[in-house]
């Protein structure tokens, strides 16, 4: 694995992510062009860097209402337009990708960005890409596990010998280029259930836990299972970063934030997943114990601090732009989060180094 360390003295890292969706505004029915939407991602990354975010990530999807099929290309444009912010996939769908090509792409991105690239490897939540890219969805689990293991091996070894079920054998294969520091931070994306988290822990891979909603306590089992599995696998859990990822939206009050964001989330869920989200379920996000960070800046600060106290995680990714949220609203959110939320959260989560007596 990459020697990847998040300094606790800097406090909780803040990320912004986009799934790369390309959806109409539910209020107007209007949709920007694909080219404009892709340029929005680059603008958001530039604004996030200026606002003090630590990382920006772009998802990969291969279906209608998405514009990020070539997410590594978009990240390349972001690398050229920024200088400090880390750049990552929201998740690279490894099940339907060749790990050699993924590594070549992200190692190149790392060199282009002078050491700022990361990979979040995930399985597909939308399975239409299996047929599109020539894979059998019945091999869903096996494809990912085999390819994730290979990706980790490529990251460890410059010359690879490997044999599996779904890809041609590698014999003394040299995978180039190599990243700036010799290896990449490779995270494993997991949902709320502990099964995938356990596999991430056993592999000693940093974990990104994505969520749509629910109480903070409901996800504690997944976090604990990950750290126990890491220890069982011979890894020190204290050296393995954990990230959470979910909706982030701020307004003058929680009710205003819910009112502004709900139509976008509901419409986005209908168009990309086939069913919407009820207002009643979405309204539960107002609970201070909810894992969904929607509300006034102060309420969001308190929520994130509550989550950090429970999980002891090192990074949070916020999704601000889902469901046709207008460009100006996203940019306003980035600015407000940078001015009010990020400094407060970092202040209260930064761990000071103990001095010798």
Tens of pLDDT, residue by residue over 10-63, are: 999 999 999 999 999 999 999 999 999 999 999 999 999 999 999 999 999 998
Average pLDDT over residues 293-319: 98
Q: Give the count of domains, the chain.
A: 1
> In this structure, is residue 241 part of a structural domain?
yes
> In this structure, is residue 258 part of a structural domain?
yes
> In this structure, is residue 231 part of a structural domain?
yes
pLDDT of residue 272: 87
Residue range of the domain that includes 249: 8-349
Average pLDDT over residues 258-265: 96
Asked if residue 151 lies in contact with residue 157, where contact means CB atoms within 8 angstroms, the answer is no
Closest CA to 155 of 9, 2, 327, 308: 2
| CATH classification at residue 265 | 3.20.20.30
Please give the structure tokens belonging to residue 280: 């009643």
123 or 180, higher pLDDT: 180
Q: What DSSP string runs through 271-309?
A: HHHSS---HHHHHGGGSTTBS-EEESHHHHHHHHHHHHH
Average pLDDT over residues 201-209: 97
> In this structure, is residue 233 part of a structural domain?
yes
pLDDT of residue 133: 84
Judge whether residue 1 has pLDDT over 50: no
Looking at every residue in the chain, the average pLDDT score rounds to 94
pLDDT of residue 5: 82
Please give the structure tokens belonging to residue 214: 């629910």
Q: How confident is the model at residue 353 (pLDDT cuts 50, 70, 90)?
A: low
Please give the structure tokens belonging to residue 349: 């989560």
> In this structure, is residue 257 part of a structural domain?
yes
Tens-place pLDDT, residues 126-168: 677 778 788 888 888 899 999 999 999 999 999 999 999 999 9
Q: What DSSP string runs through 197-228?
A: HHHHHHHT--EEEE-S--BGGGGHHHHHHHHH
Instruction: Please give the Cα distance from 118 to 284 (Å, whole number).
Output: 33
> In this structure, is residue 242 part of a structural domain?
yes
> In this structure, is residue 48 part of a structural domain?
yes
Tens-place pLDDT, residues 88-131: 999 999 999 999 999 999 999 999 999 999 999 998 766 777 78
> In this structure, is residue 354 part of a structural domain?
no
What is the percent of the chain with per-residue pLDDT over 90, rounded to a whole number?
89
Out of 72-86, 88-102, 258-272, 342-356, pick the least confident: 342-356
CA distances from 218 to 194, 214, 224, 276, 310 (A): 11, 7, 11, 22, 11
């Amino acid at each position: 694995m990459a020697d990847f360390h998040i300094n606790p003295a800097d406090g909780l890292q803040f990320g912004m992510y986009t799934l790369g969706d390309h959806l109409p505004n539910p209020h107007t029915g209007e949709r920007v062009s694909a080219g404009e939407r892709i340029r929005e991602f680059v603008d958001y990354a530039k604004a996030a860097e200026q606002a003090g975010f630590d990382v920006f990530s772009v998802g990969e999807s291969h279906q209608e209402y998405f514009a990020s099929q070539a997410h590594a290309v978009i990240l390349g444009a972001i690398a050229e337009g920024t200088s400090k912010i880390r750049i990552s996939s929201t998740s690279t769908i490894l099940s339907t990708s060749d790990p050699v090509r993924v590594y070549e792409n992200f190692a190149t991105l790392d060199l282009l960005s002078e050491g700022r690239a990361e990979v979040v490897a995930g399985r597909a939540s939308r399975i239409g890409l299996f047929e599109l890219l020539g894979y059998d969805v019945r091999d869903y689990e096996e494809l990912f596990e085999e390819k994730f293991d290979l990706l980790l091996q490529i990251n460890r070894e410059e010359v690879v010998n490997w044999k599996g079920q779904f890809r041609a054998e590698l014999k003394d294969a040299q995978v180039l280029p190599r990243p700036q520091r010799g290896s990449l931070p490779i995270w494993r994306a997991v949902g709320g259930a502990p099964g995938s988290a356990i596999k991430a822990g056993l592999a000693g891979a940093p974990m990104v836990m994505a969520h749509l909603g629910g109480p903070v306590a409901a996800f504690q089992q997944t976090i604990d299972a990950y750290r126990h599995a890491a220890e069982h696998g011979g890894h020190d859990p204290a050296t393995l970063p954990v990230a959470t990822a979910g909706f982030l939206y701020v307004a003058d009050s929680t009710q205003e934030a819910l009112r502004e964001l709900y139509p976008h989330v509901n419409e986005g869920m209908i168009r990309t997943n086939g069913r919407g989200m009820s207002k009643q379920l979405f309204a539960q996000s107002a609970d201070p114990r909810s894992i969904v960070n929607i509300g006034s800046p102060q309420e969001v600060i308190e929520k994130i601090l509550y989550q950090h106290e429970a999980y002891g995680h090192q990074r949070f990714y916020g999704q601000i732009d889902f469901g046709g949220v207008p460009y100006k609203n996203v940019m306003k959110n980035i600015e407000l989060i940078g001015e009010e939320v990020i400094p407060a959260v970092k202040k209260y989560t930064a761990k000071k180094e103990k001095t010798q007596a």
